[in-house]
Amino acid sequence: MPEIIDRVEAFPIRVPRDVPYLGALEDGVSANSKGYFIRSRNKTIYPVNDQSVVVKITTSGGAIGWGECFASVGTHAVAHLITDVVGPFLLGRDPADVSVIYEDMYDMMRVRGFFGGFYVDALAGIDIALWDLKGKLVNQSVAKLLGGIRSDQLACYVSGLPQPTIKERADFARDCVDQGFRAIKFAAAVSFEGEVAEMRALRDAVGPDVQILCDLHWQYTAPEAIKKINALDIYDLALAEAPVKPEDLEGQAQVSAGVAVPIAIGEELRTRYEFRSRFVNRCMSVIQPDVAHTGITEFMNISRMAAGFHCQVMPHATIGLGLQQAASLQCAANLGNSPLQEYQHSVFNKNLAYINTDMKVEAGYFHLPTGPGIGAEPRPEVFDMVFDA
Ligand code: MG
């Protein structure tokens, strides 16, 4: 008798951290009673601690699949959508039908206008858990189920330099290069001395052969972004990320056509439908889907669509426990157009202690986890970190 889905659970978790993601709070800024604050330069809300939703799906035979949703804010809203809205419809279904289930879940809320946002984030964690389950039931990795593993070692870039001063950030970048990393990304939202000063200091520190990427954090108009990227490229900029606001498609296309540096966008997008017009209008040459927003099914749909437009895929890595990182690597290991992965060192290393996996980063490479499914499971202590709204 085939195994059917018997239980769908969602756990809002909060993993403590000493220094907030991207670095310490600015002077005069403090977290509110819910543990959130806003970074002034990109006007974006961040949690002080790492928050996400862990999804657990259990079959009639007792097999368990694990997933994780992007839910760094509004964490309980995502969990509620899983347990209250979508989960009950999954009971009795065959977990091997994962892509069909993803599309059925997506269809449920389309005409209400929920084809993005928190709703699709909820679907992402379910989809990852179903792929994990499907892999475990046939004792195969997700990458194998997706069609095969091109490489079990994936080159990655060091994302974010959370030290307080430009000198310390440059020293940190140099240390990373000494450990074998060949690419570094800095974040404009915390480049308080200005991106060009930061770029110059980093280039001096790492030498000519290391790729330097810059996340512009959606801060500029198209003409401002073009000017900024050209100024950064004096020091050989490998990639400019998120130059203009996500709603400004024409601006994205203008920047992409106006500079010689590859433009990357898309960490905030969730579906083929959101990416489609950006591909058609050549808004970027690199896309950055995040599996914790898209799920595995749609991540692969988007990435294969990218190949049709000769775009590369450099997956975004969010604030999470690490189950989502394992899922992302399973996808990337299969793709022929994913040359570089994002390594969120300040999140990944700390939270690796809470999952059972042999996934690791060494000398500039992610090692794809072995084992069936996504190759990572939460440890029991994760469930001590479930928090109330
Ligand atoms: Mg980014």
Alpha helix (H) residue ranges in the chain: 75-80, 87-90, 98-108, 117-138, 142-145, 166-178, 195-206, 222-233, 249-258, 272-280, 291-308, 323-334, 345-351
Q: Which CATH class is domain 145-372?
A: alpha beta
**pLDDT tens digits, residue range 236-269?**
999 999 999 999 999 999 999 999 999 999 999 9
Question: Is 116 in contact with 270 (CB distance < 8 Å)?
Answer: yes
Q: How far, in Å, from the CA of 241 to the mean position of ligand 1?
A: 7
- Spacing, Cα 41 to ligand 1 middle (Å): 14
Q: What integer pLDDT is reported at residue 313 of this predicted model?
A: 98
How far is ligand 1, taken at its centre, from the CA of residue 184, in Å? 13
Task: For residue 218, report the distance from its CA to the centre of ligand 1, in Å.
Answer: 9
5-141+381-385 topology per CATH: Enolase-like; domain 1 (3.30.390)
Calpha distance 187→142 (Å, rounded): 32
pLDDT tens digits, 297-341 = 999 999 999 999 999 999 999 989 999 999 999 999 999 999 999
What residue ranges do the domains of the chain occupy? 5-141+381-385, 145-372
Among residues of the chain, what percentage have pLDDT more than 90?
Answer: 92
Question: How many A from CA of 325 to the centre of ligand 1?
Answer: 15
Per cent of the chain over pLDDT 70 is 100
Select from 26, 115, 15 the least CA-distant residue to 346: 15
Distance 195 CA to ligand 1 centre (A): 15
62 pLDDT above the threshold of 80: yes
pLDDT tens for 69-112 read 999 999 999 999 999 999 999 999 999 999 999 999 999 999 99
Span from the CA of 242 to the centroid of ligand 1 (angstroms): 7
Give the model's pLDDT for residue 218: 95
Q: Has residue 26 got a pLDDT over 90?
A: no
How does pLDDT run across 127-177, given as a tens digit for each residue? 999 999 999 999 999 999 999 999 999 999 999 998 989 999 999 999 999
Q: Where is 186: in which H helix or E strand?
A: strand 183-187
Calculate mean pLDDT across residues 218-247: 98
Query: CB neighbours (10 Å) of residue 141?
Result: 27
Residue from 208, 89, 67 nearest 142 by CA: 67
pLDDT of res. 228: 98
Give 346 Cα–ligand 1 centroid separation in angstroms. 15
DSSP-assigned letter for residue 336: S
Inter-residue contact 329 to 355 (CB < 8 Å): no
| Nearest alpha-carbon partner for 17 in 40, 46, 55, 38 | 46
**Kind plus residue range of the DSSP H or E element containing 153:** strand 153-159
